[in-house]
């Protein structure tokens, strides 16, 4: 971990962090729009309780402050990998069961899925730059969605999108810390000009 915090290329860290933050913000914006159309198309209420839906990575953490940079980024990476699987399931459920003719809606989900893939890749890049290497892809638990009712599918899709939105917020916060650290480090070693971070 110490080696990660003494990266020799803070400028690259900073630049990569900026890109990841922008991508996370973009995802959040798109997910917000998608949530609106999702709720409308599924006939749901945004206030509905989703506590009964499990299997979706939760963004909230109690002891977040004790995490190291690598742990933060690793948690982000694992979450977005899980979201790739979950979004794929949501997309397939919409195509097959719920909104088979709504191709525009499917395209919106597909777009977010692709952005999550890109975010996953960039987070892996950042971890590699920090000297940790890309963590192995942990095979997701083989779920058996065959018995899931349509109502559960709807709730699950809603929760996936909501949590994805929360994760993007958390990612922006985490990445700012990483970027700030890189800036401080770069300024101390004269590798990064002093400037105001507008991330």
Partner 1 sequence: CNYVDVAVSGFPEAPGNWKCITHDLNRMICSWDATSSANRGLTYKICQFRAAAIKTPVSAVAGNDFECMLFFLVSFQALIPLTPQILNLSADFSTYTLYLTWNDSGSVFQHELDASWQIQILYKETMETVTLINYDSKLTGKDSILFWNWTSDIPLECTSYYVKIRCYINELYFTGRKEWSEWSPVRTPNSVMVFPQDKVVLVGSNVTFCCLYNEGKSVKFMKYGSESYPLLRLSKWSSAIKVQNVSASVPSGTNVWCSLVPDDVEGTVLFVGYAPDTPQNLNCETRTFITITCSWNPGRPTALYSKRRTKYILFESPKYMELPLKTTPTSKHACDFPVHANQKIYNFTLSASNPLGQAESSLLIDVNQRVHLETPDKFTVSTNSSTHAHLSWYIPGNFIKIRLLCQIEISNSNSERQLNVSMAGAENSNYRAWVDALHPYGTYTFRVRCSASEYFWKWSKWSEGKKLTTLEAPPARGPDIWRQRSPVGETVTVFWKPLLLSEANGIILSHEVVCYLRERMLKAHEVPVPLNSTEIKLGGNDCLISVIAKNRAGSSPPSRITSVDLPSDNVKTELAIATGNGIYISWHSDPNVTCGYTLKWCISSGSEPCNVDWEMFPSNAIDAVIKSALFQPGVRYNFSLYGCKHNGYQLLQNITGYMKELPPKVAPNFTVEETSSDSILVKWEDIPVEDCQGFLKGYILYFAKGEKGSSKTSFMEEGSPELTVKNITDLTKKSLRILGLQGKTSYRLDLRAYTVGGIGPSKDLYVVTKENSVGLIIAILIPVAVAVVLGVVTSILCYQKREWIKETFYPDIPNPENSKALQFQKNICEGNTALKTLEMNPCTPNSVEVVETRSTVLKIEDTEIISPVADSELPEDGSETGTGSHVVVSYCPPIIEEEISSPPIDEPVGSSQVIYIDIQSMYQPQVNPEEEPEINFVTTAGYKPQMQLPINAMKMESHSPTEEDLDKIAGYRPQANTNVWKLNSPDSPVSIQSNNENGSFGSPCSINSRQFLIPPKDYEDSPTPNNTGWSFTHFFQNKPND
Smallest separation (angstroms) from partner 1 to the CB of 123: 24
Smallest separation (angstroms) from partner 1 to the CB of 47: 10
77, 120 Cβ separation under 8 angstroms: yes
- Residue 51 contacts partner 1 per CB under 8 A: yes
Measured CA to CA, the distance from residue 154 to residue 38 in angstroms comes to 9
Smallest separation (angstroms) from partner 1 to the CB of 99: 5
41, 99 Cβ separation under 8 angstroms: yes
- Residue 150 contacts partner 1 per CB under 8 A: yes
| Token reading at 106 | 């499917």
Smallest separation (angstroms) from partner 1 to the CB of 108: 15
Measured CA to CA, the distance from residue 178 to residue 72 in angstroms comes to 9
- Residue 52 contacts partner 1 per CB under 8 A: yes
Among 97, 177, 184, 189, binds partner 1 (CB under 8 A): 97
Overall residue count recorded for the chain in this entry: 199
Q: Which residues bind partner 1 (CB under 8 A)?
A: 41-45, 48-52, 96-102, 141-142, 144, 146-147, 149-151, 154-155
């Amino acid at each position: 971990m110490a080696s990660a915090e003494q990266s020799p290329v803070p400028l690259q860290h900073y630049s990569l962090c900026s890109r990841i933050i922008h991508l996370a913000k973009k995802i959040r914006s798109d997910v917000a729009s998608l949530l609106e159309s999702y709720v409308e198309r599924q006939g749901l209420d945004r206030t509905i309780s989703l506590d009964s839906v499990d299997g979706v990575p939760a963004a909230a953490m109690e002891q977040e402050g004790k995490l190291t940079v690598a742990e933060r980024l690793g948690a982000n990476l694992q979450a977005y990998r899980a979201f790739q699987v979950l979004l794929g399931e949501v997309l397939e459920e919409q195509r097959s069961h719920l909104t088979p003719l709504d191709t525009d809606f499917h395209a919106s989900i597909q777009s977010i899925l692709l952005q999550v893939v890109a975010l996953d890749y960039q987070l892996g890049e950042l971890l590699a730059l920090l000297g940790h290497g890309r963590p192995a892809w942990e095979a997701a638990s083989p779920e058996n969605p065959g018995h899931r009712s349509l109502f559960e599918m709807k709730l699950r899709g809603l929760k996936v999108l909501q949590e994805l939105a929360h994760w993007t917020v958390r990612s922006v916060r985490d990445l700012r810390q990483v970027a700030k650290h890189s800036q401080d480090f770069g300024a101390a070693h004269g590798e990064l000009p002093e400037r105001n971070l507008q991330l």
